[in-house]
Amino acid sequence: MSRIEIFNSEGFRHDGRRFDELRNFTCTIGDHPNLDGSSSVKLGATKVSCMVVGPYNGPPRLNFSIDVTPFSTFERQARKNEKRLQELQSLLVTSFTSACATAELPGTIDVRIQVLAQDGGLVSACTNAATLALIDAGIPMKDYICACSAGIYDTTPFLDLSNAEETDLSFLTIGALGNDSDVLMLLLENKIPADHLPVVMDMALSGTQLVRQVMDDTVRYYTQQRLAKRKLTGL
């Protein structure tokens, strides 16, 4: 028997959530006033911060770098999984290159993501943080890219897996472009039976809409604050 009960017979997950509940998702933008764009995202106990520099002189393209701090997981460890991070970086580059009008960019943009704490949902947290930081930097984008993960336990789809669930279940991460939920990014690293796949994708897509709502509210809130500040200072 595994250490934790993933899903008990009364329908609770190990952390008290229902199958269709997202963890606490909060975000801020403009944390670093000196940078062109910045954001931080908290998804449950996962914390990610993102910085954007650019556009600066250079070929029109997006660079991503992901830095996983050694204290972010439960065991302090030197860099590992370098390959996994590279894969994640290239996934983000392709997704964002198609979402931003990259060809018309005036120069190179560096996106740097720092993972401060990990408790599952790393890919979705990184994607959401990058979206917010790019918006903060004023980079033109077609729409928000909002990501959310979903997995499957037996036949029940689970929204937004925590670390403990990710180790036990098959799951996928979807990045959707905007409101009409075009799937821009789909990452599935283990197996999900084909007949269950649509349900899991639906679950993740429903999650992205919730995420989009929170991100949109945040962006509007910070923008209004900035506008208010501008009026005050008379700029």
Partner 1 sequence: MPSKRKFEVSMASESATALDHVSLRSVKGKCVKIVREQYLRTDIPCRSLLCTRCNTDLSVALPGSSPMLATLSSAPPSTDSLGPHYAVPDLSALTQAMDCFESSKLFYDVIILQSVLEQLRSVSTPLYRRLKSVIAANNKRFVVFHNLFHKPSFVAKQPAETFDHYGSRCVLSAASWYAKHIPDVNIVVVSAGLIETNDSSVTVLPLSEYIPQFSGTASLLDSMLRSEPAIKKNPNNTVYFSEHFPTSKILGGVKSGQLIQGKLHISHYNSNEGHIYSSDRDDTILIIGKDNLNRAFNDDIVAVELLPQSEWKTELVTLDTVKDVDEDDSNDFLRTDSNISKKPTGKVVGIVRRNWRQYVGHIDIRSTPDILNPTFHGITNVLVTPMDRKIPKIRIRTRQAGSLVGHRILVMPDTWDTDSRYPDGHFIRDLGPMEDQDAETEAILLENDVQYQPFSQAVLDCLPKEGHEWRVPESKSDPLWNKREDLRNLQICSIDPPGCQDIDDALHARMLPNGNYECGVHIADVTHFVKPRTPMDNEAAARGTTVYLVDKRIDMLPMLLGTDLCSLKPRVERFAFSVIWELTPDAEIVSTRFTKSVIKSVNAFSYDEAQKRIDETSNSDELTKSMRMLLKLSKQLKQRRIDAGALNLASPEVSVRLENEQNDPTGVEVKELKETNSLVEEFMLLANISVAKRIYEAFPQTAMLRRHQPPPESRFEEFSKELKKLKGLKLSTKSSKAIADSLDKCIDPKDPYFNTLARIMATRCMMSAQYFASGQFDYAEFRHYGLASEIYTHFTSPIRRYADIIAHRELAAAIGYEPADSRMHKLQEEHLLSFMLVRALRVTQLSRKRG
Q: How far is the CB of 230 from partner 1 (least distance, A)?
A: 32
State the minimum distance, in angstroms, from the CB of residue 186 to partner 1.
9
Three-class secondary structure of residue 179 per DSSP: coil
> Which one, 117 or 141, has the nearer CB to partner 1?
117
**Which amino acid is present at 47?**
K
Structure tokens at 104: 């018309």
Which residues contact partner 1 (rule: CB under 8 A)? 1, 8-12, 15-25, 44-45, 74-76, 117, 119, 154-157, 159, 162, 164, 183, 191, 193-199, 201-203, 205-207, 209-210, 214
Collapsed DSSP state (helix, strand, coil) of residue 225: helix
Contact 60, 107 (CB under 8 A): yes
CB of 196 to partner 1, least distance (A): 7
Nearest to 216 by CA among 6, 25, 1, 71: 25
Distance in angstroms (rounded) separating the CA atoms of residues 176 and 209:
8
CB of 207 to partner 1, least distance (A): 6
| Minimum gap (Å) between residue 146 Cβ and partner 1 | 13
Residue whose CB is less far from partner 1, 38 or 218: 218
Which residue number, 104 or 180, has a Cβ lying nearer to partner 1? 180
Rounded to whole angstroms, the Cα distance separating 36 from 56 reads 11
Using CA atoms, how far apart are residues 178 and 142, in angstroms rounded to an integer?
Answer: 8
- By beta-carbon proximity to partner 1, the closer residue of 25 and 64 is 25
Closer residue to partner 1, CB minimum distance, 63 or 209: 209
